[in-house]
Amino acid sequence: MGHWLVIDLEATTDDGGWPVTEMEIIEIGASLVTREGREVDHFQRFVRPRRRPQLTPFCRELTHITQASVDSAEPFAEVWAQFERWLMHHQGQLQAWVSWGDYDRKQLLQEWQQHQVLSLLAQLPHINLKQRFAKARHLQRPAGLNSALQLAGLQFTGQQHRALEDARNTARLLPLSLPAGSA
């Protein structure tokens, strides 16, 4: 029986948004789940940004992440090494890694390249659950996470725009988005 790794990232940003090339990860949340969306294990860490270490007021308000949380965090390379050690315990059962939309995949690719980091995730298929959910529900265009939960008759649990809570809520949509027997 395989597991899916649902990942969500929070990153530096400001009102109006920044291009991915300007953003840096400030929180990593991952929920390892069964195909039914039941959590088996999880990972959550803050990350200290290097290029723009001072979070914007917009970013702090959106994510509810304090300046002190990122100031006391380790840089990406160290946090990612901790993540990889955690992930190795589950490597044999991993089917794929999942995110809501394609942003998280693009952000990770950028950070891996900038920090010259290799990742076990690079060897696994990535599933854009936002697209899969839209296809499964025959939506005209993909919905945001909160809207998708509402369409599925579910309420968001926890604090929005926090990595682990977003990952856990995304995981709840996994069984509704993957056709039976699919990877």
Annotated catalytic residues are 10, 161
CA distance 56 to 32: 31
DSSP string, 36-96: T--EEEEEEEEEE-SSS-SPPHHHHHHH---HHHHHTSEEHHHHHHHHHHHHHTTGGGEEE
Q: Which two tokens stand for residue 88?
A: 């190795």
Neighbours of 13 (CB within 10 A): 19
Element (H, E) at 129: helix 129-136
Residue for token pair 């990770």 = 108
